[in-house]
Structure 1
Amino acid sequence: MPLIFHKMHANGDDFVIVDARNASNPITSTLARRLGDRVSGIGFNQLAVVLDCQEADARLMFWNADGSTLDVCGSATRGAAHRLMSEANTRSITLHTNRGLLTCERTATGAISVSMGVPLFGSADVPLATHLDTAVLPLAGGPIACSMGNPHCTYFVDDLAAVDVAAIGPTIETHPLFPLRTNVHFVQVIDRSHIRLRIWERWGGIPLGSGSCSCGAVVNGIRRGLLDPCVEVACDGGTVTVQWDGVGPVFLTGPVALSYSGEVVDDLLQPGSGGE
């Protein structure tokens, strides 16, 4: 059977949507790794499969390009929501993820907003390898950690341009303090409602942007008392808005766009093909 896909991006944070409603889930870890290869496959930061669901309009499952799974992806969630709302001619839907039920809406400007759930701050939630106060980790630079359904470690810096993200990021990602690795943020606060963010993404390197990382960075900035409840986050690829009242769910709002749609050739679907 052919595999139809939709390549999309949110300010350059690229992802692939596969609609498997009314069918079995075609994606395995091995196939996700083949498809994620930017030379022999499609290439993406994350892949989302849309599945049938009784509790919501649809269920989403997510993969990284290395074939590992994750509980949530803010950009791919908004991309799937955009497609499903256009299909149903509605401005609001609910999607089921491993993070829980996420409500998505289309704003008056056409941007997609998603309720990303309540952030978690316990050391077991992030998770950390040992019981620690996540507000100030015992690492050089005194970063702060949280979970948005995936782990986030945030550094606040005076000059973002002086940070060698490619050198520091993987060292922190794989630090023994983070048994499941971590996303690493480097944040320069412009003012209380604007930040500049660069990211080392867990398993993925340096992306142009990330929805969940934008959320984690703002949440951690609010916890530090540096930011107001509504913040514009400027990443390498563009800007999103993150809102958090300090208690409830985090809201992520920004544009999404279709790059192209296509069909995966049979050879790539077979064991032993490219990416193995």
Structure 2
Amino acid sequence: MLLHFTKMHGLGNDFMVVDLVTQRARLDNAEVRRLADRRFGIGFDQLLVVEPPRNPDMDFRYRIYNADGSEVENCGNGARCFARFVLDKRLTHKHQIRVETAGGPLTLDVHNDNQISVDMGAPRFAPQALPFDAPDEQLTYRLDVDGQSHEISIASMGNPHAVLIVDSTEQAPVERLGPAIEGHPRFPRRVNVGFMQVISPGEIRLRVYERGSGETLACGTGACAAVACGIRRGLLTSPVKVHLAGGSLKIDWDGGDSHLIMTGPAERVYDGRVALR
């Protein structure tokens, strides 16, 4: 069968977006991996799937698959693309869209300037929220990796994040430490790893090694987690501009149980059809 899809990106974090409201398809792990291949398939960091909601109070169900075929709880850059997609495809006429995800509900607001704000909910810092193997909640933790001890902060944005502060994102050992921390045994479900350089209380640079995808040009939930950890540690004050390789995001968070708001762009690249096996 032929599957209609749209290729999109949020700051270079690229997605294949599929409408399973008006068409039907079964996408197993092997099919997702085949489609994700950048030489023999479509190529993407994540596959985003639009489905009818199970909860009548929601507008859609939002599902996210990594390039390795694993399903994950949340993707902030993907959420902005999701909002742009359902409007462009006339699946809704709302400019405030509520979606259910494996990590909890999200509210998406589409502005007239092509900027999209996502209410990401309140960040969670308890080890069991990720999960992370630690006896109690702390501001920072020591993590032993290949015989060296590293200081990390942790946060859940519906998906798990570890954040390291570095002097320079350009010099950060992302290729070495990223996969080592992602699969560290203290993170039983693996983890996304952020390398944060603090420029000022209102500005950071960030690189993210994403669970199941490797380093990407941008990671929305990674930006949210880094800012939340930085504010909690007294290093940052809201709002914070986050510079990623693919562009910049604005993150607003008042601390505590308040909801974190991420704002940034979403772009359509092309529409296509692909034959499924």
1:81-230 pair list within 5 angstroms: 81-86=83-88, 87=90, 88-139=92-143, 140-230=149-239
Give distance in 2, aligned partners of 1:130 and 1:145: 11
Q: Deviations over 1:2-41 (max 9, x none)?
A: 1111110011000111001044453222211111111211
1:48-67 pair list within 5 angstroms: 48-53=48-53, 54-67=56-69
Structure 2 residue matching 1:261: 3-state secondary structure:
strand
1:204 Cα deviation from its structure 2 partner: 1.4
Q: Deviations over 1:214-257 (max 9, x none)?
A: 11111111111111121110001100111111122211110110
1:247-262 pair list within 5 angstroms: 247-262=257-272
Query: Match of 1:9, as an amino acid?
Result: H
Contact 1:93 1:103 in 2 (8 A): yes
Using structure 1 for the length normalisation, give the TM-score: 0.92
Which moves more between the two structures, 20-29 or 6-15? 20-29
Using structure 2 for the length normalisation, give the TM-score: 0.92
Give distance in 2, aligned partners of 1:158 and 1:96: 37
Which moves more between the two structures, 125-134 or 74-83? 125-134
1:7-26 pair list within 5 angstroms: 7-26=7-26
1:108 Cα deviation from its structure 2 partner: 4.0
**Pair 1:30 & 2:30 matched:** yes
**Pair 1:6 & 2:6 matched:** yes
Equivalent in the alignment of 2:146: none
Give distance in 2, aligned partners of 1:91 and 1:85: 8
Contact 2:8 2:269 in 1 (8 A): yes
Query: Match of 1:20, as an amino acid?
Result: L
Give distance in 2, aligned partners of 1:218 and 1:108: 26
Segments of 4+ moved more than 6 angstroms: none
Give distance in 2, aligned partners of 1:66 and 1:155: 25
1:109 Cα deviation from its structure 2 partner: 2.2
1:76 Cα deviation from its structure 2 partner: 1.3
Q: How many residues align?
A: 267
Which moves more between the two structures, 19-28 or 9-18? 19-28
Give distance in 2, aligned partners of 1:27 and 1:47: 10
Give distance in 2, aligned partners of 1:27 and 1:242: 33
Equivalent in the alignment of 2:273: 263
Structure 2 residue matching 1:119: 3-state secondary structure:
coil
1:133 Cα deviation from its structure 2 partner: 2.8
Structure 2 residue matching 1:162: 3-state secondary structure:
coil
Give distance in 1, aligned partners of 2:109 and 2:25: 26
Give distance in 1, aligned partners of 2:231 and 2:23: 43
1:197 Cα deviation from its structure 2 partner: 0.3
1:158 Cα deviation from its structure 2 partner: 2.0
1:194 Cα deviation from its structure 2 partner: 0.6
Contact 2:154 2:229 in 1 (8 A): yes
Give distance in 1, aligned partners of 2:102 and 2:157: 11
User: Structure 1 residues 25 and 116 mapped into 2: Cα distance closer, same or farther (>3 Å)?
Assistant: farther
1:160 Cα deviation from its structure 2 partner: 2.3
Equivalent in the alignment of 1:41: 41
Higher strand share: 2
Query: Match of 2:79, as an amino acid?
Result: T
Structure 2 residue matching 1:127: 3-state secondary structure:
coil
Contact 1:126 1:152 in 2 (8 A): yes
Q: Which blocks of at least 5 consecutive residues in structure 1 are unaligned? A: 271-276
Structure 1 residue matching 2:180: 3-state secondary structure:
helix
Give distance in 2, aligned partners of 1:165 and 1:182: 14
